[in-house]
Chain A
Amino acid sequence: MTTREIFESMEYGPAPESSAEAMAWITEKGPVFGHFIDGAFTAAGEVFETRNPASGQALAQITQGTADDVDKAVKAATKAFPKWAKLTCHQRAKYLYALARLLQKHSRLFATLETLDNGKPIRESRDIDIPLAQRHFYYHAGLAQLRDAEMPDMAPIGVCGQVIPWNFPLLMLAWKIAPALAAGNTVVLKPAEYTSLTALLFADICREAGLPKGVVNIVTGDGATGEAIVTHEGTRKIAFTGSTSVGRRIREQTAGTGKALTLELGGKSPYIVFDDADIDSAIEGLVDAIWFNQGQVCCAGSRLLVQENIADDFHRRLKARMASLRVGDPMDKCIDIGAVVDPIQHQMITKLVSENKDGETYHAPIDMPDQGCFYPPTLITGLHTAAPLMQEEIFGPVLVSTTFRTPSEAVEVANNTRYGLAATLWTENLNLALDIAPKLAAGVVWVNATNLFDAAAPFGGVRESGFGREGGWEGLSAYLEPTAKALPAKVITPPDAPDMPDADGLDRTAKMYVGGKQARPDSGYSQAHYSRRGTLLGHTGLGNRKDIRNAVEAARAAAKWGKTTGHLRAQILYYIAENLSARADEFTNRIKDLTGSNQTKAAAEVEAGIETLFTYAALADKVDGTAKGVPIRGIALAMKEPVGIIGALAPDDAPLLAAISLIAPAIAMGNRIVLAPSQSAPLAATDLYQILDTSDVPAGVVNIVTGSHADLAPTLAGHMEIDALWSFSPHTDSAALERASASNLKRCWINHVGNPDWTNLVPRTALAHTTETKTIWVPYGE
């Protein structure tokens, strides 16, 4: 076209970024790549091709990692771990700082390589992915420096196996490697098979930074390689970002191994627009929500919820905006949407959209490239919550839309999902925004913005979007474990029934404690409990799955407990302590009878129980959220929210103290609990019924089901309404429990190696299992 013609047409024209340097790097270091193990690149093994999805052009040959390769990498990381962990915080900080600097120095190379391999627009790699990755290493250089001072009683875990997705290859690597190294761990990381190149470039800069051999190992390959990392006995912590189905399988595969686990999985994040929003800005926000990275974003605002009274106008304006989106060569600096990562993904998106028969499908009427993996920006309006596309993650540039009438309906529709990763809401009303944000089932909420990320702001999900946080101190703690030694979970055999039991006095039978009332066991069976001297102490019911079901229903009905104030919960915990104290002698005697321990020991357990109640009463209004120092004009509030309904199985020993040590932190933070008390001595817990009744504990907040743990545990572990599963019981199979917990990805606190010392449990340990962080971003400015 001549200048004259362009002067008339005012078209944009091509603005290509050069790929020459990135291609030169590939040629120089490859184009056939091995792994990076123990500080050196290995010879290539069996290889597969990595391609540029925008053109189909082959870029390099990548080695398919074998179990043997993984073993070598884990061994290198294991060997490097003691020395790396023993470095001072400052020494580790210097390495992280060097990595940050090197990422910055090679930023253009990383950006172009990322775009070539992944298909995302160069603008995004250049302005978002790579700067965020740099920031992550800078921030974690700081966390490394401060670790000992800020996180006493914590130590690195060991070798971390990390498996990352293809949508943000380098950024996800940074999210995984930076905290692991800052905490003092070593890593074996597998990039996604579509996008290995920037991980290999990162390996290259690890050498430039002089990172000790074996601290970072990169093994390339597909899911089988990932599985080898997950199942290798040398990996002590697994961090995974990817699909919910693979995450669930990893939960199953790691069950019973004692490996620490964090999962960042899928989402179907709501994008809520209230009628008083700045509509043009909300529409522009959608470009960043669902047309960012071709919609291949786990936290993409993919589910549009518009208030009904503005929906028509909103959709009309949204369609107009879609018409000016530009899809094309990702290396062009003038496009909005690049290529979908692989033909397989493209087929998946196409299939999901074409199979949908509901609503009205609108593809943006824009020029599309003739070839390559491109999918047009798409809006499907008029869907209802029952439609599959409102529930299933599409992972492409496809927005689905429905309407709501009121704020409470917006919350109801938003939360009508198995996922809970992120949510966006638009309103100019501060009251509304700050009322709605805490009610959304999501780990991240953006107010009047979307897809904001920063190293200081914890990121992660609830429900089937996974658990664990990345970013901030919260993210670092996922790579540390308490130094406190665990004690073996003892099996205590209760005394057998004597030939002639001593059964004087009035019969007292403890039933189940469900919804603030005593309920007969569904089974109709009871179990007698005797003292060591042969005295009949009482009966407890033998609970079954229906008792658990009823208890969970009661807990569900008590959801309001999570919205009560910390002050109120503290008052109630103090009240429980007060009432327990008034009956200390009675409980002391009960413990003596049940356990055969002496007066001093039994009295000490009661006293420790009272103290524990005080501790968590004290903490109930002091587990503060924090305002994170994110680099925007605005605040990112990391709020502590209760995890929900906790199913807990108590140990045999310390029958009163252990029960209190589980109940108190749970309810202090606003959770509800279904507790199976000590199997051998449940009466110490069932005696609490009256104390709970008289201490203003609302019905359903604490529920107690007695019986055989082997019978109760599977129901607790499989129950979809239970959000967290705790077990310190010696009568359950940890592996089976964790496997079953994968059904809805419960947060697990399970005694693999032993139980805490109940008389000396660090409150932070328990609190970490009772709360989840929700990060609420509120940019501001008028």
Chain B
Amino acid sequence: MTDTLHHVSTATADQLPQVHLPRNDGMDLDLDWVANVQANTSAIERRAATLPGRRSVKKTHQAAWLAKAITLIDLTTLAGDDTPGRVRRLCAKARQPVRADILDALGLPAITTGAVCVYHDMIETAVDALQGTNIPVAAVSTGFPAGLSPFHLRVKEIEESVAAGAAEIDIVISRRHVLTGNWQALYDEMREFRAACGEAHVKAILATGELGTLRNVAKASLVCMMAGADFIKTSTGKESVNATLPVSLTMIRAIRAFEARTGFKVGYKPAGGISKAKDSLVYLSLMKEELGNRWLQPDLFRFGASSLLGDIERQLEHHVTGAYSASYRHGIG
């Protein structure tokens, strides 16, 4: 399972997305498969509820895992009041997410976050601010967050974002296609989005909080993967319910089923609501348990989060000093 990533020594090289894996080409829409998908909510909730009690990571292991979590963060700002200055500050944090003295004390090399995630208008600023690193810029697109702008404009938005230098595009699906069971429409839409992305990798945001049932989440996950999504992602962060463990379990089981059928490894990105270091450990163990270690690398797993990093920094300092840390001791992003 493990691959060549393990011996790469430079921090930035660790985070090159999908350099070793074939991209998901997708497959024809298989409506029978979609129709037969089951997701038993109470059983999924039980598994999700007991997982934190079954897996525990302590001491040095915890510090290493938390550092790993940082490399998996899509450091994000998606606010109406974003300015170039704000985005540059975020990018600076992405380049150096943890104080150098803490990393030294841990014996870890320099690390960066997995990506920076912004709106279209901030792409150029971000790309510029991240010059000299391998940190990709991800852009939310396709009329994010509702995805209800004219279809041709949504496709155009992708093309413009890619042209502006975004290496990753986070698209939003049309929830109505899921809610009306129009899987063909969802598939076609996703196919077009993927095509518009070209070489840029595409993350399909399902907005799971608006899909009504876990069964719908599972079906939408499969259809998006059939249509060539490189990642599937829970939420825009703007829904009232964002990433949860049961939703995550449902989606990563779909990823596992898709890999078993096609051989393609598809990435997963929970977004929204993950703000504690401890939560990030649970997510990592969930990935490790259900999909294996390969999904603990940034080409297959990302956290969509903004405040998670701060909590991890405090935990790492605590690990080094033995004293609980304060937020102002760490640079803000």
Residues of A within 8 A of B (CB): 1-15, 123, 126-127, 276-282, 284-285, 324, 333-334, 336, 426, 428, 448-449, 632-634, 779-782
Enumerate 16 A-B pairs (CB-CB under 8 Å) in ascending A order. A4-B109, A6-B61, A7-B68, A8-B6, A9-B6, A10-B68, A10-B296, A12-B61, A13-B60, A278-B39, A278-B40, A634-B42, A779-B42, A779-B43, A780-B42, A782-B214
Tell me, rounded to whole Å, the shortest Cβ–Cβ distance linking B50 to chain A.
Answer: 7
Tell me which of B51-59, B220-228, B269-277 binds A. Answer: B51-59
B108 close to A3 (CB less than 8 A): yes
CB within 8 Å for A278 and B38 given contacts A4-B108, A10-B296: yes
Question: What is the CA–CA distance of A422 and B326 in the complex, to the nearest angstrom?
Answer: 53
Given contacts A13-B59, A285-B43, contact A334 B38 (CB under 8 A): no
A324 close to B38 (CB less than 8 A): no
Give the distance in Å from the alpha carbon of A737 to the alpha carbon of B65 in the complex. 66
Residues of A within 8 A of B36 (CB): 276
- In the bound complex, residues from chain B placing their C-beta under 8 Å from that of A282 are 43
Is B60 a contact partner of A6 (Cβ separation < 8 A)? yes
A333 to B62, CA, bound (A): 14
B86 on the interface (CB 8 Å rule)?
A: no
Query: Does B106 lie within 8 Å of A3, measured CB to CB?
Result: yes
B164 within 8 A of A: no
Q: In this assembly, does B107 line the interface, its C-beta being within 8 Å of a C-beta of chain A?
A: yes
List, in ascending order, chain B residues with CB within 8 A of A284's CB: 43, 47
Of B57, B106, B109, which one neighbours A12 at CB under 8 angstroms? B57
B241 at the interface (CB under 8 A from A): no
Contact check, A428 vs B60: say whether CB atoms are below 8 A apart.
no
> For residue B40, which residues in chain A have a CB less than 8 angstroms away from its CB?
277-278, 281, 426, 428, 448
B290-326 interface (Cβ within 8 A of A): 292-293, 296
Distance, CA A781 to CA B67, complexed state (A): 37
Instruction: Write out the residue numbers on chain B whose beta carbons fall within 8 Å of the beta carbon of A11.
Output: 61
Whether B63 is near chain A, meaning CB under 8 Å from some CB there, is yes
Q: Which of B65, B109, B213 contacts A6 (CB 8 A)?
A: B65
CA distance A722 to B206 in the complex (A): 59
Complex Cα gap A520–B81 (Å): 99
B64-A6 in contact (CB<8A)? yes
Q: How many residues of B contact A (CB 8 A)?
A: 43
B61 and A324 within 8 A (CB): no
The verdict on A276 contacting B38 (CB below 8 Å), with A127-B53, A334-B54, A449-B46 known, is: yes
Find the residue from A1, A281, A779, A781 having the highest chain B CB count within 10 A. Answer: A281
Across the interface, do A3 and B67 meet the contact criterion of CB distance under 8 Å?
yes
Instruction: Please indicate the chain A residues that have their CB under 8 angstroms from the CB of B55 in the complex.
Output: 12, 334
Report how far A336 CA is from B296 CA in the complex, Å: 21
Residues of A within 8 A of B133 (CB): none
The total of interchain contacts (Cβ-Cβ below 8 angstroms) comes to 106
Chain B residues close to A by CB (< 8 Å): 6, 36, 38-47, 50, 53-61, 63-65, 67-68, 106-109, 213-215, 253, 256, 284-285, 288-289, 292-293, 296
Residue of A2, A278, A324, A333 touching B289 (CB-CB under 8 A): A324
Contacting residues, chain B, for A449 (C-beta < 8 A)? 42-43, 46
Complex Cα spacing A14 to B61, Å: 9
Asked if residues A3 and B58 are in contact (CB atoms below 8 Å), the reply is: no
Given A278-B39, A280-B253, A281-B47, answer yes or no on A3-B54 (Cβ-Cβ < 8 Å): no
Inter-chain contacts of B214 with A (CB < 8 A): 782
How long is the Cα–Cα vector from A127 to B40 in the complex, in angstroms?
23
A123-B54 in contact given A3-B60, A4-B108, A428-B38 (Cβ < 8 Å): yes
Flag if B296 contacts A15 (CB, 8 Å).
no
- A781 contacts which chain B residues (CB < 8 A)? 41-42, 45
CB distance from A126 to the nearest CB of B (A): 8
Q: What are the 7 A-B residue pairs with the smallest beta carbon separation, nearest first?
A: A13-B61, A6-B64, A281-B43, A278-B40, A779-B42, A15-B56, A333-B56
Q: Give bound CA distance, A190 to B76, whole Å.
A: 61
Complex CA–CA separation, A278 to B38 (angstroms): 5
Cα A278 to Cα B218 in complex, Å, equals: 11
A632 vs B42: C-alpha distance in the bound complex, in angstroms?
9
B44 / chain A contacts, CB cutoff of 8 Å: 278, 281
Cross-chain contact B296 with A277 (CB below 8 angstroms)? no
Contact partners of A281 in chain B: CB under 8 A = 39-40, 43-44, 47
A779-B46, A782-B213 known, 18 other contacts, Cβ within 8 Å: A2-B60, A3-B67, A3-B107, A4-B107, A6-B60, A6-B65, A10-B65, A10-B288, A11-B61, A15-B56, A324-B292, A333-B53, A334-B54, A334-B55, A334-B56, A449-B42, A634-B42, A782-B214
Expressed in whole angstroms, the Cα–Cα distance for A779 and B45 within the complex equals 11
Cβ of B159 to closest chain A Cβ, rounded Å: 37
A5 to B7, CA, bound (A): 10
Whether the pair A3, B63 counts as a contact (CB closer than 8 A) is: yes
A284, chain B: closest CB distance, angstroms: 5
In the complex with contacts A10-B288, A127-B50, A334-B54, A1-B60 CB distance below 8 A = yes
Residues of B within 8 A of A780 (CB): 42
Give min CB distance, A119 to chain B, whole Å.
Answer: 17
B27 CB to closest chain A CB (Å) equals 18
Contact present for A14 and B293 (CB under 8 Å): no
| Chain B nearest Cβ from A682, distance in angstroms | 56
Interface core residue of B39, B42, B253 (most chain A CB under 10 Å): B42
A316 to chain B, nearest CB (A): 9
List, in ascending order, chain A residues with CB within 8 A of B59's CB: 13
Q: Measured between C-beta atoms, what is the minimum distance from A185 to chain B in Å?
A: 36
CB contacts (< 8 Å) of B56 on chain A: these are: 12, 15, 333-334
Instruction: Give the most central of A8, A127, A280: most B CB within 10 Å.
Output: A280
Q: How far is the CA of A4 from the CA of B107 in the complex (A)?
A: 6
A2 to B58, CA, bound (A): 13
Using CB atoms, name the residue of chain B closest to A277.
B38
- Give the CA-CA distance A781 to B42 in the complex, in Å: 6
C-alpha spacing A428/B43, complex, angstroms: 11
**Chain A residues within an 8 Å CB radius of B47:** 281, 284
B41 contacts across to A, CB distance below 8 A: 781-782
Q: Give the distance in Å from the alpha carbon of A334 to the alpha carbon of B296 in the complex.
A: 18
**Contact (A7, B293) CB under 8 Å given A13-B61, A15-B58, A428-B40:** no
Question: Do A448 and B61 touch (CB < 8 A)?
Answer: no
Residues in A whose Cβ lies below 8 Å from that of B53: 123, 126-127, 333
Complex contacts, A336 vs chain B, CB 8 Å: 54
B239 CB, min distance to chain A CBs, angstroms: 18
A126 proximity list for chain B (CB < 8 A): 53
Whole-angstrom distance between the Cβ of A334 and the nearest chain B Cβ: 5
Note all chain A residues with C-beta closer than 8 A to B288. Answer: 10
In the assembly, what is the distance between CA of A234 and CA of B237, in Å? 68
Q: Looking at the assembled complex, report how far the CB atom of A306 sits from the nearest CB atom of chain B, in whole angstroms.
A: 15
Bound form: Cα–Cα A417–B40 in Å: 29
In whole angstroms, what is the CA distance A634 to B57 when docked? 33
Interface core residue of A11, A278, A285 (most chain B CB under 10 Å)? A278
Assembly CA distance A7 to B72 (angstroms): 12
Tell me the smallest distance from the CB of A186 to a CB of chain B, in Å.
37
Q: Which residues of A contact B39 (CB under 8 A)?
A: 278, 281
Query: Which single member of A123, A324, A333, A448 contacts B42 (CB below 8 Å)?
Result: A448
Give Cα A334 to B52, complex, Å.
9
Q: Give complex CA distance A324, B288 in Å.
A: 9
| Interfacial chain A residues near B57, Cβ < 8 Å | 12-13, 15, 334
Q: Which residues of B contact A276 (CB under 8 A)?
A: 36, 38
A513 vs B298: C-alpha distance in the bound complex, in angstroms?
Answer: 79
User: Would you give the shortest CB distance from B16 to chain A, in whole angstroms?
Assistant: 16
Given A281-B47, A634-B42, A782-B213, A2 contacting B54 (CB threshold 8 A): no
Q: Residue of A at shortest CB range from B5?
A: A8
List of B residues within 8 angstroms of A5 by Cβ? 64
Q: Are A633 and B42 in contact (CB under 8 A)?
A: yes
Give the residue name and chain of the B residue nearest to A275 (CB): B36
A14 to B53, CA, bound (A): 14
- Please give me the residue from chain B that is nearest to A779 by CB atom: B42
How long is the Cα–Cα vector from A127 to B52 in the complex, in angstroms? 11
Task: State how many angstroms separate the Cβ of B277 from the closest Cβ of chain A.
Answer: 15
A428–B293 CA distance with the chains assembled, in angstroms: 31
A122 CB to closest chain B CB, in angstroms?
Answer: 10
